[in-house]
Amino acid sequence: MRYGRMCCRLLTPLLLLTASALAVVVPVDRRFDFDGQQSDFAQQFYRRHVAGDAVNQMKHRHSDLPDEVQDELHQYKLRWGQLPGLLQRAVLWDMGYVVALDDKITRIYTRCGRSMAQIFVSRKAYERIGCTPKACSLPTGELSYRHKWCDGDQATRISLCAAEDADLQGHSAMWGDGADDDFIPEVNLVRHSWTDHNDSYLVYALHTQVEEVAYNFCPTRPTPIIPCAAYANENKSRWCRPVRGKIVTPWLQNFAIEHEPSHVGLVLAVIGSVVVIGGVSSLVWKWWVGGAKETEAQKDLGEALLVSIRSVSTSSYVFDADQDELEQALDAAAHEHFDSSIGFSASAHTSHSSWSSLKHRLSSLEDPQSSEPMPRTFERSISTSSSIRMLSERRSQVTIRSFRLFESHHVIREKRVPFREIQFHRVLSEGTTGEVWLATLRGRQVAVKQLLSTKRRVLKEMEMFMAEIYLLTQLQHPNIIALVGVAWNTLEHVVMVQEWMERGDLQHFLQRQLACAHPEFTWTHHKLAIALSIARALAYMHSLTPQLLHRDVKSKNVLLSNAMEIKLCDFGISRRKHSMDEDDTNLTITEAAGTMSWTAPELLLGEEYDEKIDIYSFGVLLCEVDTCLLPYHDAEALASRLIFHPLRLMRLVVHEGRRPHLSSSCPALIKKLAHACLDRDPAKRPSAHAIVTLLTTEKVV
């Protein structure tokens, strides 16, 4: 192997010389940091391409493309179907085309002299025109922002782009900023039209994810949204077709070179020489040492480890001395990443260095502009492209190594079941990121939760899912859904096996009770048992150290068995609150928090919060159980169409004390308890333990 590696090193310059002689330099900005506050999507597409990411090709045929796009491809003797998905998206964006919700390719104009990389509206410009953004807290403690108040005239005045007509209407934010560095925009054009005080408005918006959250809610991951004026209503002299950027043309040229037969043959010939020479050298070396030993990957293959063999490998440009240093840094970084993203205690694993020194070290390693000297490993970057690839590879390696720690943890190993023993039957429910199946495991009916196929390669989604799995391994309570097991066959396909609750969720159960008007479903029978069970679950969670907040208590997340066992479920957005860290990072995380009708006012406003947000949600749940109706679905609320006007409902809840109604037959004790739980002041809400004591010692009826 050592001789083979040496040959590869000797031939690497030849291989690079062959490629560089044919390729065109793509002028990547090494200082570029995709933070969702710019619209240089073409550069981001290229960065992710260099990092090894890939997306599906677009469904459009070559004949569906606008003429100028077809002409562009014709210059390079290319067809649309030949281009990888990222390059397809980059071509359309750079040339000023986006896809509407009906899949129609629509033309975009910019302020004259601007490219598509220059149409993002900054928060400063958004606020300067008189618009008000909504702050959304992130797990890092940073903030992203979304459209909250902005009328159509204001949105049009600040727009740096104009769109031709699109038919499909949206009901979400018209402006937003923020994004993760590895985010891949999926641009789609959405029409926003409405009437306010007899004035009609029409504004388009370029959204960058297909599944957009509702207006006035914070997304799971921040994404940029760009407002665009309606071109048909504008003075045409102010708008032009966009100036072309610097990324797409050389990217297309390189792609065309790579796919020209004569060039491909030359490159393959060189690669073939490397493979043959390296392979022969490797065999000689194996013969010399008496045969190769079985690798760790081969040993683990039969165990179907979480991290597949195709995980990214260490760069071939790293020499042995640097490799040891890099391995230590990656292992240490993986433990830190593991601890922060999945929620494990770092003390459970071997620590390689202090976190503070590690952060300093990694920041100097990954920052090409750092004033400190970089290690020799990073000085050997071959080109801009390889530098980007190596930096992205390091980040991916850290994350994937943290997944290895998850897989090897004794708690997870104890819960692991063979994937082949699970028999999937039918889908029970599906959300924006995951789905739940009815399945059978060793003759027992179970519920299997997994990520949607489109989310299984998103590292952040994987981290959140693994965090939920590990959290459930720590929770042992009769009123919290039990984790039966964990299974996986690849990195992309991890499933959580939970106990099966035959009666389904409380929301549908209450709807059936309302329809049937069952005489036994009263506060003296089942209603009290439901309320007490959830209160006990919350009391248990709030008594843990560190304290656990559910953050999404509602009827949909309560399950019932045939024996009327009541269990709280869905801990996907739960958060630990460390008593020694009472700071904004822990107290203002609102990522994906709850559903508005059940959400406490302080959480809606982005204020600091504690476990009393769960108590507020419990108060709403009491109203649901009492009336068998969803909150704000009583006759009065429906007449005023509150559920169709979330912004108005939010104002009433936050500023005017509007709360879900209770029935006239509701027991006085329950009314008093519900009102206390729904108090605007969190300090005046009772604790979960106090609620349990009240419901077990006081006579309800």
Residue 102 pLDDT: 77
Contact between 564 and 595 (Cβ < 8 Å): no
179 is a domain residue: yes
Contact between 624 and 631 (Cβ < 8 Å): yes
Structure tokens at 381: 């970057």
Count of structural domains, the chain: 4
Q: How many CB atoms within 10 Å of residue 58?
A: 18
Identify whether residues 73 and 202 lie together within a single domain.
yes
Identify whether residues 452 and 548 lie together within a single domain.
no
Q: Where a domain ends, among 466, 499, 532?
A: 499
Residue with tokens 């159980």: 625
Separate counts of helices (H) and strands (E) for the chain? 24, 19
24 is a domain residue: no
Q: Where a domain ends, among 470, 499, 528?
A: 499
683 is a domain residue: yes
Contact between 513 and 627 (Cβ < 8 Å): no
> Rg of the chain over CA atoms, in angstroms?
29
Kind and range of the H or E element at 499? strand 493-499
Please give the angle made by the CA atoms of 388, 389 and 393, to the nearest 5 degrees: 120
Identify whether residues 354 and 421 lie together within a single domain.
no
How far apart, in whole angstroms, are the C-alpha atoms of residue 128 and residue 123?
8
Identify whether residues 326 and 242 lie together within a single domain.
no
Identify whether residues 404 and 417 lie together within a single domain.
no
Structure tokens at 387: 């530098």
Identify whether residues 314 and 357 lie together within a single domain.
yes
* Domain harbouring 600, CATH code: 1.10.510.10
Strand-pairing partners, residue 98, are 106
* Domain harbouring 484, CATH code: 3.30.200.20
Identify whether residues 421 and 566 lie together within a single domain.
no
Strand-pairing partners, residue 192, are 203
Kind and range of the H or E element at 200? strand 199-207
Q: Where a domain ends, among 469, 499, 529?
A: 499
193 is a domain residue: yes
Please give the angle made by the CA atoms of 224, 225 and 226, to the nearest 5 degrees: 120
Amino acid at 588: T
Structure tokens at 562: 């045939």
Identify whether residues 356 and 222 lie together within a single domain.
no
- Closest alpha carbon to 317 in 14, 8, 28, 51: 8
Structure tokens at 440: 């059978």
The two beta strands, 188-196 and 97-100, are parallel
User: What is the sign, positive or negative, of the torsion defined by CA atoms of 494, 461, 204, 652?
Assistant: positive
Which long-range contacts (C-beta less than 8 Å, at least 24 apart) are formed by 364-370? 365/329, 365/394, 366/391, 366/394, 366/395, 368/30, 369/30, 369/31
Q: What separation in angstroms does the CA of 472 have from each of 433, 592, 631?
A: 18, 19, 28
- Closest alpha carbon to 20 in 195, 267, 259, 215: 267
For residue 37, give the DSSP letter.
Answer: S
- Closest alpha carbon to 463 in 371, 355, 591, 590: 591
538 is a domain residue: yes
Contact between 220 and 591 (Cβ < 8 Å): yes
- Closest alpha carbon to 78 in 266, 267, 257: 257
228 is a domain residue: yes
548 phi and psi angles, rounded to 5 deg? -110, 125
Structure tokens at 635: 């006759």
Ranges of residues in the chain with a pLDDT under 70 are 1-23, 139-141, 260-402, 491-492, 575-594
Contact between 178 and 37 (Cβ < 8 Å): yes
Identify whether residues 445 and 397 lie together within a single domain.
no
Residue with tokens 């390059």: 87
96 phi and psi angles, rounded to 5 deg? 85, 45
Helix (H), strand (E), coil (C) string for 293-313: CCCHHHHHHCCCCCCCCCCCC
Q: What is the span of the domain harbouring residue 416?
A: 412-499
Amino acid at 172: S
Q: What separation in angstroms does the CA of 259 have from each of 122, 263, 331, 602?
A: 40, 7, 39, 57
Q: How many CB atoms within 10 Å of residue 98?
A: 25
286 is a domain residue: no
Identify whether residues 553 and 636 lie together within a single domain.
yes
How far apart, in whole angstroms, are the C-alpha atoms of residue 251 and residue 26?
6
Amino acid at 428: L
Identify whether residues 456 and 571 lie together within a single domain.
no
Residue 323 pLDDT: 55
Amino acid at 693: T
How far apart, in whole angstroms, are the C-alpha atoms of residue 91 and residue 449?
38
Q: How many CB atoms within 10 Å of residue 479?
A: 19
State CA 155 to chain mean position distance: 28
33 is a domain residue: no
Contact between 61 and 80 (Cβ < 8 Å): yes
Amino acid at 55: V
Residue 266 pLDDT: 43
At residue 397, the 3 state secondary structure works out as helix
Identify whether residues 336 and 305 lie together within a single domain.
yes
State CA 38 to chain mean position distance: 20
Residue 228 pLDDT: 96
**Peptide bond connecting 546 to the previous residue in cis, omega within 30 degrees of 0:** yes
At residue 61, the 3 state secondary structure works out as coil
Please give the angle made by the CA atoms of 184, 185 and 187, to the nearest 5 degrees: 155
Condensed to tens digits (0 to 9), the pLDDT of residues 210-238 reads 777 888 788 878 899 999 999 999 999 88
How far apart, in whole angstroms, are the C-alpha atoms of residue 329 and residue 359?
10
3-state helix, strand, coil in the chain (%, to 5): 45, 15, 40
User: What is the sign, positive or negative, of the torsion defined by CA atoms of 682, 607, 587, 594?
Assistant: positive
Structure tokens at 559: 């399950």
437: which residues sit within 8 A by CB, 6+ positions away?
424, 425, 426, 427, 428, 447, 448, 449, 450
How far apart, in whole angstroms, are the C-alpha atoms of residue 663 and residue 678?
16
